[in-house]
C-alpha cells in the first residue's frame, strides 16, 4: 500500500437542504462518515481540496485518513460521491469507517500492462480490447491494493485474458470468483479487424458533412441552456440523500 491520503474535515451540526446549499455557496461540501459500530457524524470539507484529492486514482480505492483536528483522525474509505450534473462541484460525499479486523469489499481499477510488447499489439489488423475497467475485491485494510495489474505481454491474436488470470497480492480475493467458475469473464481480448470495418474516420466525415448541411439539426447545448429547474433538482437530490444517510 502507498502513503495514506489525508482529508481534512470539520464537524458540523447544521443539516438539511438549506444548510447544505449554504455550504456549497461558500465553496464547501457536506459529507457524512458512518460505520465502524459508531454513530454517523456530519462533516464539512473544502471543495477545492476535495477536488484535488479526487484527481488521484488512489482516492477511490484506498484507505483515507479523515482528520478532524490534530488529535482526532479516523481511517475510512469513500462509499459514495454525488457530483453536480454539469458543474465541477461535488454535492455530497460519504465515508465509511474501516476496522483493521474487518474485511473490506472495494472496487479497484484494472491496469493493463505489456500490451505494446505483445504479439497481438505488434500485429497488423489486430485490436486489443479492454473489456473491464474495475473489479470488486475483498481484503483486510492492510492488504488492500490500489489497483490490480493484468499482463498482456504474451497475448496473441485470438487470445482472451480471463478474470481468474489476475495475479492477486496475498490476502486479496476477487468476490465474483467466489461464486464459481461461471462468473469468470473476459478482461481483454485480441480480435482481427476486417478491412471493410475501417477506422471510423469515414463515418465521422459523413456526420460532419451532414451537420454542416443542417441534416442533423442543432445538437449542441451550452451550459446556459440548462434550466434553473435542472440545477435545483440536482441540488435537492444531493440534499435528500444526505438526509437519508444521517
12, 42 in Cβ contact below 8 A?
A: yes
**Residue 83: other Cβ atoms inside 10 A:** 16
Nearest to 239 by CA among 23, 11, 7, 13: 23
Residues forming a β-bridge with 46: 28
pLDDT at residue 237, rounded to an integer: 56
C-alpha to C-alpha distance for 70 and 221, rounded to whole angstroms: 47
Helical residues (DSSP H) of 68-172, grouped into ranges:
119-122
Q: How high is the pLDDT of residue 217?
A: 45
> Is the pLDDT confidence value at 205 over 80?
no
Question: What is residue 234's predicted lDDT score, i.e. its pLDDT?
Answer: 54
50 Cβ neighbours under 8 A, 6+ residues apart: 7, 29, 90, 93
Q: Residue 199 above 70 pLDDT?
A: no
Mean pLDDT of the 216-244 span: 49
**Residue 25: per-residue pLDDT:** 93
Torsion angle (degrees, nearest 10) of CA 221, 227, 229, 233: 30
Please identify, in words, the CATH class of the domain defined by 105-197: mainly beta
pLDDT class for 130, splitting at 50, 70, 90?
very high
Domain ranges of the chain: 5-99, 105-197
- Please tell me the predicted confidence (pLDDT) of residue 225: 38
> Does the pLDDT value for residue 91 go beyond 80?
yes
Measured CA to CA, the distance from residue 168 to residue 173 in angstroms comes to: 7
Torsion 64-67-71-74 (CA) sign:
negative
Q: Of the candidates 96, 109, 102, which has an alpha carbon nearest to the alpha carbon of residue 63?
A: 96
The mean predicted confidence, pLDDT, of the chain is 84
SS3 61: coil
* Residues 197-203, mean pLDDT to the nearest whole number: 51
* CA–CA distances in Å: residue 8 to residues 11, 60, 67, 72: 10, 16, 5, 11
Give the C-alpha separation, 60 to 111, whole Å: 15
Indicate whether 232 pLDDT > 80. no
| Least confidently predicted of 11-15, 44-48, 113-117, 219-223 | 219-223
| CATH for the stretch 5-99 | 2.40.240.10
Amino acid at each position: 500500500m502507498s502513503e495514506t491520503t489525508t482529508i481534512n474535515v470539520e464537524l458540523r451540526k447544521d443539516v438539511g437542504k438549506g444548510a447544505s446549499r449554504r455550504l456549497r455557496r461558500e465553496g464547501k461540501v457536506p459529507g457524512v462518515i458512518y460505520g465502524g459500530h459508531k454513530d454517523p457524524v456530519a462533516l464539512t470539507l473544502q471543495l477545492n481540496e476535495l477536488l484535488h484529492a479526487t484527481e488521484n486514482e488512489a482516492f477511490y480505492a484506498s484507505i483515507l485518513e479523515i482528520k478532524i483536528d490534530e488529535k482526532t483522525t479516523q481511517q475510512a474509505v469513500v462509499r459514495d460521491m454525488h457530483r453536480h450534473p454539469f458543474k465541477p462541484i461535488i454535492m455530497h460525499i460519504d465515508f465509511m469507517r474501516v476496522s483493521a479486523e474487518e474485511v473490506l469489499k472495494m472496487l479497484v481499477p484494472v491496469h493493463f500492462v505489456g500490451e505494446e510488447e505483445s504479439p497481438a499489439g505488434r500485429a497488423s489488423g489486430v485490436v486489443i480490447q479492454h473489456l473491464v475497467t474495475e473489479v470488486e475485491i475483498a481484503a483486510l485494510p492492510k492488504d488492500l491494493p490500489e489497483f490490480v495489474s493484468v499482463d498482456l505481454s504474451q497475448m496473441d491474436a485470438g487470445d482472451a485474458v480471463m478474470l481468474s488470470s489476475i495475479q492477486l497480492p496475498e490476502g486479496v480475493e476477487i468476490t465474483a470468483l467466489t461464486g464459481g467458475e461461471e462468473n469468470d469473464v473476459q478482461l481483454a481480448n485480441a480480435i482481427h479487424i476486417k478491412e471493410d470495418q475501417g477506422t471510423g474516420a469515414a463515418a465521422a466525415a459523413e456526420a460532419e458533412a451532414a451537420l454542416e448541411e443542417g441534416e442533423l439539426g442543432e445538437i449542441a447545448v451550452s451550459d446556459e441552456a440548462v434550466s434553473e429547474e435542472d440545477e435545483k433538482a440536482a441540488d435537492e437530490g444531493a440534499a435528500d440523500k444526505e438526509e437519508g444517510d444521517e
